[in-house]
Homo-oligomer: A and B are copies of this chain.
Amino acid sequence: MGERGVVVDNGRRRPTIEDVAAAAGVSRGTVSRVLNGGVNVSPTALAAVNKAIKQTGYVVNTHARSLVTQRSGSVAFILSEPQEKFFEDPNFQVLLRGCTQALAEHDMPLLLSIADSEQDVERVVRFISSGHIDGALLVSTHAGNPVFGRLASLGIPTVACGLPIGYERELAYVAVNDVEGARLATTHLARLARRRIATVTGPLDLSGGRERLKGYREGLEESGLTFDQNLVAHGDYTRISGQLAMERLLKQNPDLDAVFVASDLMALGAMDALDRAGRAVPGDVALVGFDDSPSASAARPALTTVRQPWKRICEEMVRLLLALLDGQDPAAVILPGQLVVRETA
């Protein structure tokens, strides 16, 4: 007891705004005004109402409010990725956590929707149409994802994480500057006097994959090195793909002395491969990853990588979504990546 605060239990019924009004000696309208920011309310009335709220233990009934405002005050976090990705890639968890936190600052709950099958997509779309949520935060790296189109055509305020390819105009989004980040990584390796710098790319049908490759080329050029197709291997952001790509690279280019890997997870795989091949990191081969996911700092040796400012990304996503809910037009935010030098390069 007592944990509940002072609760006047008048008949077991949850107190309504009317009860508060009666207790404060004012009208419903005044209480409502206090609840919604307290504009045009006299100090006397304000104090009385606040006291009455405490006394009665009143909590606003969100359903009644939503019914009239046509707003739920909640947003969906839609994860539209194959299940395995979700488990393997810590970035998703960082995003989930970050968005939950950023929304909590605005007292908005987050509804989690996972849509990794065709049928799930339908369920999620139906759910969204039912008025449960005001907007959506969409996480999907998968380019041809139908969810983008559905959300756009339904007119649901949506903020994507990463470029929503084909819907850059309709949907707001937050992305990091992949080209710039990859360029940073590559020039860093060059400055370390490495001359045979290879790269493991992400999937090239994804904007991130393409852009990071582009940044790698720019970085080479800037450093006076020439691009060599032999020094490029492709992965799919999984750890094992990084390992396999690295093995291919080593076989084709026994002389390589550095590698830029387009994700930390793949970088971990690449390190496995280097380890097995008996190449010391960074002694024989310097290595830079991308993402700065939790595992980057935990790895031994700790991974030098390009940091994606996750916290900032989440905050910007939420900010853009609130702006959208406020009636503003979809905007895009491109954030800079930042090189984090640790032990591998």
Q: Say whether B87 contacts A294, CB under 8 Å.
A: yes
A39 at the interface (CB under 8 A from B): no
Q: When each residue 116-135 of chain A gets 1 if its CB lies under 8 Å from chain B and 0 otherwise, what string results?
A: 00001001001101111000
Q: Say whether B87 contacts A93, CB under 8 Å.
A: yes
Q: When each residue 58-89 of chain A gets 1 if its CB lies under 8 Å from chain B and 0 otherwise, what string results?
A: 01111110110010101001000001001110
A154 at the interface (CB under 8 A from B): yes
Q: Say whether A62 contacts B112, CB under 8 Å.
A: no
Nearest B-chain residue to A84, judged by Cβ: B294
* Sample of 28 A–B contacts (CB below 8 Å): A3-B150, A59-B130, A59-B131, A60-B130, A61-B67, A62-B130, A62-B131, A63-B66, A63-B72, A74-B111, A83-B97, A86-B93, A87-B90, A87-B93, A87-B97, A87-B294, A88-B294, A93-B93, A96-B112, A97-B114, A101-B114, A104-B114, A104-B123, A107-B127, A109-B111, A109-B113, A110-B111, A111-B111
Which A residues fall within an 8 A CB radius of B?
A: 1, 3-4, 59-64, 66-67, 70, 72, 74, 77, 83, 86-88, 90, 93-94, 96-97, 100-101, 104, 107, 109-114, 120, 123, 126-127, 129-132, 149-150, 153-154, 294
